[in-house]
Amino acid sequence: MDASVEAHRLVARFLRSQGYSAALDSFINEVSHAHPRLPCLLDADPTAGDAGEDLQDLVENAVAARLARLRVDDPTSSLRDQLVGLELKEVELPKCKARTVVREMSNVLTVQRGVLPKREWDTQQHRFQCNETPCLFTTAVDRTLKAYALDIYALLDSFSLPSPCLSFAQHPVTEHRRFVTCAMMDGSTTVLDLVTREVKAKVQGHNKYIVRVCWSPDGRHLATLGYDKLVRVYRFELSAPASTSSSEPTLLDDEAPDHLAFCPDVRLNLVHTIESRTNPEAALWLPDSQWLVWSARDDHLLRYLRVPDDDADEWQTEEVNLNENGDSFTSFSVLSIGLHPTLPLLSLQTSTLSARILLYPFHTATRLLTLHTTASQSDYFNPRHAWLPSGAGVVVNSEDGLLRIIDLRGRVRVSQGAHGAAAPADDGEEGLTEEVRSERARLRREADKGSSVIRDVEVLVNKDDKGSVTGWKVVSCGFDKTVKVLE
């Protein structure tokens, strides 16, 4: 059979199999002069051996052959197989609309799960009691760090900051979770003690605002990224406080000192600085705590930095070209980096007009998956994403107020209005026309031009006593001055 006829038949059969009847009619009309037998060939009996392949079959066969060639010596093939096996089931998806759990007086910048440690005097036991309350931390333009109870979202505590905090991280080691680090718009990095409310360390490491701060999983190092084109790495050092009468807690005769009774002194020791060609945007530490992964705007490279085992050793660096053809053209930047929850993969969120999420194994240029999120974004938007605990789906923020959940087939399984003009009606507003809604609600939904921006997103995972996942919910914050929950 003529190759041109076969190519046209493949396209026609694909259009028909997908139900694109209007497109199929137009296609046949346009090619009928060059290939008048196409309608007859399209209806040929497959058993007669003259029906040809379907376009989708052809593509799938080509992909399968390519994967088979890759698997000959590709150590990532098993990861690819495991990804294919992850399926997001319908029963897992949220069934309710997004609801408002926190309403602030200013734009909310970050939202993150954590714990709030407290050491308080028990008037009945006549001694200090220590507890850690699971909470939701937020930072806002009003220069505050706030903690809300996870169950009823009541305000537990509020801390004043010297500047708005764009990135926030609690110490990852259990015995040091009293310490949180805030990356400020004034270029400073602050370590705050949640128990004593004291600033334990502060460094002015950048002369422009810091966009990202992250701890290594072992809590020994801290990285900051600033818009002064600098990446800085600090060593987190603790020392016993000077023994004075004021620093020692008052204890009863039979009372042993608790783990929150003493607060060690904190020092952030600058150990490494990287000068970037463009502004750095995203970073995280790999689970081994040895490698920092970071990216910059207008850069096609993903960069790795290894912490040396000894202070006298060199800092090792690696660069991974994200362009599949290996050239140096910058078609997109990586603006957000995440870790897949069940597989050793990096998830990279791009700067493209419609945000994509790319999955790569550690230290390789092999792209295993590309997810098109359909979330449109402008040049100055900061995309964020969070994985569902199973790793079968990911939640992304947006500028249009919609929370989207995308599965590993690239399908948008949930597109739920949450913030700004896209927010659903508040409780008590259902059934009312727009004309009779309150002026406050109308202004909140329509008048604030930037109110639909979702600034940050997090997945809160519920576990039982054995550590098994029992459920999850999505929490988000935005420039409509609210925190929303989708469950």
Closest by CA position to 472, among listed 487, 454, 451, 452: 487
Closest by CA position to 345, among listed 323, 371, 324, 376: 371
Report pLDDT for 386: 97
Same domain for 148 and 23, yes or no, is no
Instruction: Give strand pairing partners of 94.
Output: none
Same domain for 230 and 96, yes or no, is yes
Report pLDDT for 335: 95
Same domain for 256 and 323, yes or no, is yes
Report pLDDT for 211: 96
> For residue 262, is it within any domain?
yes
Same domain for 127 and 173, yes or no, is yes
> For residue 193, is it within any domain?
yes
> For residue 98, is it within any domain?
yes
CATH number of the CATH domain containing 294: 2.130.10.10
> For residue 76, is it within any domain?
no
CA distances from 487 to 151, 153, 414, 479 (A): 13, 15, 11, 21
Same domain for 324 and 445, yes or no, is yes
The helix/strand/coil state of 32 is coil
Which domain, by its residues, includes 10? 3-70
- What sign has the CA pseudo-torsion 27, 30, 34, 37? positive
In angstroms, rounded to a whole number, what is the distance separating the alpha carbons of residues 15 and 230?
Answer: 52
Same domain for 121 and 39, yes or no, is no
Check pLDDT > 70 for residue 451.
Answer: yes
> For residue 311, is it within any domain?
yes
Closest by CA position to 177, among listed 212, 215, 149, 121: 215
30-48 confidence digits (pLDDT tens): 888 778 877 777 765 443 3
Within 304-459, where are the H helices? Answer: 439-442
Give the phi and the psi of residue 191 in degrees, each rounded to 5.
-105, 115
- What sign has the CA pseudo-torsion 91, 93, 97, 100? positive
Instruction: Report the percentage of the chain scoring pLDDT > 90.
Output: 59
Same domain for 361 and 433, yes or no, is yes
pLDDT tier for residue 245 given thresholds of 50, 70 and 90: very low
Domain termination site, one of 70, 101, 127: 70
180-192 confidence digits (pLDDT tens): 999 999 999 999 9
Same domain for 207 and 335, yes or no, is yes
> For residue 469, is it within any domain?
yes
Same domain for 169 and 50, yes or no, is no
In angstroms, rounded to a whole number, what is the distance separating the alpha carbons of residues 266 and 77?
Answer: 45
Report pLDDT for 64: 47
Domain termination site, one of 39, 70, 101: 70
Same domain for 33 and 128, yes or no, is no
Rg over CA atoms, the chain? 27
pLDDT tier for residue 28 given thresholds of 50, 70 and 90: confident
> For residue 299, is it within any domain?
yes
Overall number of domains in the chain: 2
Same domain for 267 and 303, yes or no, is yes
349-381 confidence digits (pLDDT tens): 998 887 899 999 999 998 999 998 988 888 889
Question: Which amino acid appears at position 480 of this protein?
Answer: D
> For residue 75, is it within any domain?
no
3-state helix, strand, coil in the chain (%, to 5): 15, 40, 45
Same domain for 59 and 178, yes or no, is no
Closest by CA position to 187, among listed 163, 171, 221, 170: 163
Check pLDDT > 50 for residue 204.
Answer: yes
Domain termination site, one of 42, 70, 98: 70
* Section 147-175 average pLDDT: 95
In angstroms, rounded to a whole number, what is the distance separating the alpha carbons of residues 476 and 113?
Answer: 11
Q: DSSP states of 188-257 as a string?
A: -EEEEETTT--EEEEE---SS-EEEEEE-TTSSEEEEEETTTEEEEEEEEEEPPP--TTTSPP--TTPPP
Buried b (16+ CB within 10 A) or exposed e, 191-200: bbbbbeeeeb
297-350 confidence digits (pLDDT tens): 999 999 999 999 988 889 999 999 998 777 888 888 999 999 999 999 999 999
The answer to whether 269 touches 234, Cβ cutoff 8 Å, is yes
pLDDT tier for residue 51 given thresholds of 50, 70 and 90: very low
Closest by CA position to 377, among listed 420, 409, 315, 335: 335
The answer to whether 420 touches 451, Cβ cutoff 8 Å, is yes
